[in-house]
Structure 1
């Protein structure tokens, strides 16, 4: 079943066991059960159990029935499979009925808004729909999967108080990325593409929102934009979907271009510098130079992003600007020399405590993802 499909869409309320069809067939053919037993070599007791539905109709029995009734074995097998599947579905529904409170951990209003669920009701049907959307068997399995992600996360917001909303955001990103056609990942081509990607910081959102995913797809990077969900701190994520395709997901949590572009190049740092078996979920704490991270990978990704946006040849010029950032015309002139949006320079200066956070924000551009 495709992710997001309704798991109940093709599930009738009840499916008769194949014994009922066998009984009707025998009645139409005028074959008594005892006669069928003799023709098939099966016991009368077993035939009776199949007709009552207390014994399964095996593939071997289906072949025997094909020869004695003329009804294809494939039909008997299909009837048996449909009946057993329905029985299993009913048992699953009973088991999940006691787990519907698991839905309370998710942002149900957002799930309805995103058309993942039809309503906010805590019902077995909605629980099944959500499990199907996540592609997991049951709530315990889902949480085991997320725990395994956390083991791989070098810095993570997952499995904190907002774990379920964050898991929802990541699943949205994953599903969108899997739909994108990308070329096989090429590290050298991605590295060569960096100047062109950096130049997109100067473009209007209507331009880069189309060009950024297109350019990255050509080197095996599936870039997707997923608006930030309430109560999440996630700014970006990196996850290898296959050895030849890597997901880079970006949110609009901070709504400004300096944070957005730093997050993007931070994620590319993970792609270029770190292992394919790791998943990275990044938040604002990742980008703090004063924070002691659990792993140096985050510091490396930060350094990569900073040096990509303001390359090392401009370090001396930047230090001069840092010593005297005002008036704003100095910031704008430096941004022109470097070839990046001035809002990014403002954000860097604010981060480096060279400019008060209340100054220069008018040079930043708003990023809004839908």
Structure 2
């Protein structure tokens, strides 16, 4: 609203002013300026401050009195008031407009906790930080440029500021990474059977697989879970190439691998739909729940089949046997424990707190992957780091 007022006020006729209109009105009514002031209950200094644009704090009642006498409606009065106002006042209005926009689209408290901003930042600093991070000319491009890129076909928008922030930053991140390798579905089909053994390598397994996928045109990045979201993973299609985000939701090593295979199922079987909707979130309510059950079953069966789980379940409390069986199945033992926990939860049994000593520290697994982009100077800087990491 303020932006519309300022734009319209800048385009008013140069000769249109309170001073000119008042002089003409006084001539037609036969009143003197003093008589008008007395009848309207206006003081000379207040009236001159409005007319000469010198008042620092304009009394709205006095402004309305003048507008009414001149026969102006409310919009005309306000537009004329802001025409040729001092630059400091226009700047104050711009700041007011900026902070209104920023509060509408950004969860400042949560972003401060992530180190993205400082809670003491001024409006100008917040404006500069957002523009530099996303590579925007104006904060208003956050909704116009990025919003149009993501929501033009799906007509989707979110009241959840952090989810919207996550989606837009991830999309921009992948755009900047711009994987130069062509995507090949055939190569992905050949690669997937080779992934499972790398679950046993806690420190370097994920990085090795991410690099192999990058080499066939599938960009995978790891991000820490963003507060106020439940996103386990996501698949985007950018420049006709699949891009995957895996998070550390629940801080579970086995879940990270499960999420990766789940998203690869979407790449294999849902790419055509993803090209239309542009992205899909796993773990969050989504209007396009594309084959989630199939993707979950695919990931579960890939990591360890139901038949093998039925064999090992009676021995689940024998860690030595589980470890040996996991080695035979070419998976990390935590994947067996995780699948057991899930299968039991479907029966109404709670084993989520069990076997925690046999799950690797997620920090070790993500050590070589973690390129935080929330506190990076810019997404461009973060994208260069991840591109170097993934390029063999």
Q: TM-score, normalised by structure 2?
A: 0.57
| Deviation string, structure 1 residues 266-310 (Cα, Å, up to 9, x no partner) | 111111110241311111789xxxxxx974511121112112212
> 1:202 aligns to what?
200
Computed over aligned residues only, the root mean square deviation of the Cα atoms, in angstroms, reads 3.5
> Which of 283, 298, 306 is matched with 2:292 structurally?
298
Q: Does 1:222 align with 2:213?
A: no
Q: Does 1:336 align with 2:339?
A: no
Give secondary structure in 1 for the equivalent of 2:232: strand
> 2:10 aligns to what?
none
Shift in Å at residue 166 of structure 1? Answer: 2.1
Whether the 8 Å CA contact 1:96–1:127 is kept in 2: the answer is: no
- 1:1-370 equivalence runs, <5 A: 97-104=96-103, 106-108=106-108, 111=111, 117=117, 120-121=120-121, 123=123, 126-127=126-127, 129-130=129-130, 133-134=133-134, 135=136, 137-138=140-141, 141=144, 145=148, 148=151, 151=154, 159=158, 163-177=160-174, 178-179=176-177, 181-205=179-203, 207-243=204-240, 245-274=241-270, 275=272, 276-277=274-275, 278=277, 279-283=279-283, 295=289, 297-310=291-304, 314-353=305-344, 356-368=351-363, 369=366, 370=370
Q: Evaluate the alpha carbon distance shift between residue 210 and residue 101 of structure 1 in structure 2; reply closer, same or farther with a 3 A threshold.
A: same
Stretches of structure 1 that go unaligned for 5 or more consecutive residues are 1-89, 287-292
**Which one has more relative contact order, counting CA pairs under 8 Å at least 6 apart?**
2
Q: TM-score, normalised by structure 1?
A: 0.60
Give secondary structure in 1 for the equivalent of 2:331: coil
Q: Evaluate the alpha carbon distance shift between residue 182 and residue 111 of structure 1 in structure 2; reply closer, same or farther with a 3 A threshold.
A: farther
| Deviation string, structure 1 residues 122-164 (Cα, Å, up to 9, x no partner) | 62562465256445745653795498289488xxxx825xx22
Count residues in correspondence: 264
Q: Evaluate the alpha carbon distance shift between residue 102 and residue 233 of structure 1 in structure 2; reply closer, same or farther with a 3 A threshold.
A: farther
For 1:199 and 1:164, the matched residues in 2 are separated by 39
Q: Evaluate the alpha carbon distance shift between residue 149 and residue 196 of structure 1 in structure 2; reply closer, same or farther with a 3 A threshold.
A: farther
| Deviation string, structure 1 residues 289-332 (Cα, Å, up to 9, x no partner) | xxxx974511121112112212xxx5423222235533233322
| Deviation string, structure 1 residues 194-242 (Cα, Å, up to 9, x no partner) | 122222111122x134313211111111111111122221111100111
Whether the 8 Å CA contact 1:220–1:246 is kept in 2: the answer is: yes
Q: Evaluate the alpha carbon distance shift between residue 285 and residue 262 of structure 1 in structure 2; reply closer, same or farther with a 3 A threshold.
A: farther
Shift in Å at residue 172 of structure 1? Answer: 3.7
| Deviation string, structure 1 residues 325-364 (Cα, Å, up to 9, x no partner) | 3323332232112111110111111000077222212211
Q: Evaluate the alpha carbon distance shift between residue 285 and residue 129 of structure 1 in structure 2; reply closer, same or farther with a 3 A threshold.
A: closer
Q: Evaluate the alpha carbon distance shift between residue 296 and residue 112 of structure 1 in structure 2; reply closer, same or farther with a 3 A threshold.
A: closer
